[in-house]
Structure 1
Amino acid sequence: MFGRRWLEMTWQDGCFLHWAVNPDLVAGTLPERLSVATHNGQAYLGVVPFVMSDIRPRGSPIGLSFPELNLRTYVDGPNGPGVYFYNLDAADRLGVAVARRLFALPYYRARMDVTRENGAVRFKSDRRHRGAPSARFDATYEPVGDAFVPEPGSLPAFLVENYRFYAAGNRLYCGEIAHEPWTLREARVDLRRNDLFETNGFEKPADKPIVHYAEPIDVTADRIRRA
């Protein structure tokens, strides 16, 4: 059950980029107690750039904002289905340090730049974390379709309607979030560089991704706990 809603924030300028992969390729990368979740027999790897805006303890008038970029897949775990993160690159030195120190989560400090022009978003990331492998990302994405809310059971719902996440640091951790259902738009992307697959031990995909632009959404989050 979702506990005390500890943090409030808005997620904006988000894009979901997904590639279908063989479940066996994902299974070998997961920690104990997690198993691959599939849709019509396929596992998925997702790259998600977005901006976490106005992050603050619930009730506080003061917040901070920074971009984040993650590589993820979808799993079943001891607390239920959710997202498993391979990396969380962020342009926030303090937040990265706290997450790594307290939970050994796969956060990495990166230099990021997000610009907006004529409805398109350009998102650039260059990991600058000492001792970690380099990872660069550079893409421009923009919505091209009508807004829709994913139908339950559909592939878009499988890919985005996840309210629990797992990360394996010094042990398996779980966190929960809450928000209204996503409003998505089909989108196009100019993906100039994406090192996240190779950095995390996956081959670079040859096919084009499934792309969804995400409308801004207000989110509350519980504390991260042991799974």
Structure 2
Amino acid sequence: MERPPLSAVPEPLSRVAPHVAGRILFRQSWDDLVFLHWPVDPGDVAHLFPAGTRPDVIDGATYIGLVYFQMRRLALGVGPALPLIGTFTEINVRLYSVDTEGRRGVVFRTLDCERLLPSAVARSVWGLPYRWAATRKLRFGDRIIYTTRRRQPGGPTSRVWAATGTQGHACGPLGDFLTARWGLHARAWGSTYFWPVDHAPWTFRDVSLLSHDDDLVEASTGLRVARGMPTSVLYSPGVRVRFGTPRRLRGV
């Protein structure tokens, strides 16, 4: 099947999520998020995007994101939060996409998670590239450390150490481009889907990157950009999130 033309004009960026209509599949909270980002040439990552999507760009560049956070209160539909398995540390590598209908989103390359069951279900049912890993979060006052090691011989590792502040931080146009994403694109069941997401507008606080060391980006994209200092570093105390029903892209 030929890929349809990717000429749709991207929807305008908005810091306010559109309403997710229909059935809510999942609810969860994302806490203590540290975002690291590096610019790359769109042509260097275009082959990593699912059919019907392309790299989204700002000022001629697209970005690779490395995001560390604590998942809490994972729940199915309107049910209660899942005990034990509903709370875990996650580290993901993501790209920024736009589809044939102009919807902006993210494409996950990997999602490292310490819980085996959620990882296995997300991979087998929804086609999301979860990996079982030994992940950990430590906090000492204003200092936060995330680490992960993939549970395989010689598996990639990642670590970040940051100092978080209490003052509000305006993330600017680039920060909005990287974080005001109201869905994800994924390939599953032989088609490409867009999963709508909504949550309150992001709030950011001052943050200083003390150190980082990462193999995940190179392992999942083939690019060594994460060995250098990130162009953008952001910290958010978190948001509560709802996932709607996936919508299949027409023709792909």
One-letter amino acid of the structure 2 residue matched with residue 185 of structure 1: R
Partner of 2:127: 104
Asked if structure 2 preserves the Cα contact closer than 8 Å seen for 1:106 and 1:169, the reply is no
Superposed displacement of residue 31, structure 1: 2.8
SS at the partner of 1:13?
Answer: strand
**Offset from partner CA, 1:188-211 (integer Å, 9 cap, x none):** 223342011220211234542110
Partners of 2:212 and 2:81 in 1: CA distance: 36
Partners of 1:31 and 1:168 in 2: CA distance: 6
Partner of 1:7: 26
Identity of aligned residues (%): 28
Partner of 2:218: 198
Partners of 1:66 and 1:142 in 2: CA distance: 21
Query: Is residue 2:88 matched to residue 1:69?
Result: no
Partners of 1:66 and 1:33 in 2: CA distance: 32
Mark the structure with the bigger radius of gyration: 2
Of 139, 157, 162 in structure 2, the residue corresponding to residue 136 of structure 1 is 157
TM-score (norm 2): 0.81
The 1:168–1:62 alpha-carbon spacing in structure 2 relative to 1, beyond 3 Å, is: closer
**Offset from partner CA, 1:129-187 (integer Å, 9 cap, x none):** 58xx7220111122247214555xx1110010101101235532321111011001232
The 1:206–1:96 alpha-carbon spacing in structure 2 relative to 1, beyond 3 Å, is: closer
**Offset from partner CA, 1:29-53 (integer Å, 9 cap, x none):** 2232111111111111100011110
Asked if structure 2 preserves the Cα contact closer than 8 Å seen for 1:6 and 1:223, the reply is yes
The 1:59–1:167 alpha-carbon spacing in structure 2 relative to 1, beyond 3 Å, is: closer
Query: Is residue 2:75 matched to residue 1:56?
Result: yes
Asked if structure 2 preserves the Cα contact closer than 8 Å seen for 1:134 and 1:199, the reply is no
Partners of 1:5 and 1:26 in 2: CA distance: 31
Count of aligned positions = 223
Superposed displacement of residue 106, structure 1: 1.0
Of 113, 116, 130 in structure 2, the residue corresponding to residue 93 of structure 1 is 116
Partner of 1:83: 106
One-letter amino acid of the structure 2 residue matched with residue 122 of structure 1: I
TM-score (norm 1): 0.89
Partner of 2:175: 156
Asked if structure 2 preserves the Cα contact closer than 8 Å seen for 1:125 and 1:137, the reply is yes
Superposed displacement of residue 220, structure 1: 1.1
Question: What do you get for the CA RMSD once the two structures are aligned?
Answer: 2.1
Asked if structure 1 preserves the Cα contact closer than 8 Å seen for 2:94 and 2:109, the reply is yes
Superposition pairs for residues 168-207 of structure 1, below 5 Å?
Answer: 168-169=187-188, 171=190, 172-200=192-220, 201-205=222-226, 207=228
- Comparing 140-149 with 109-118, greater Cα deviation is found at 140-149
Partners of 2:58 and 2:166 in 1: CA distance: 23
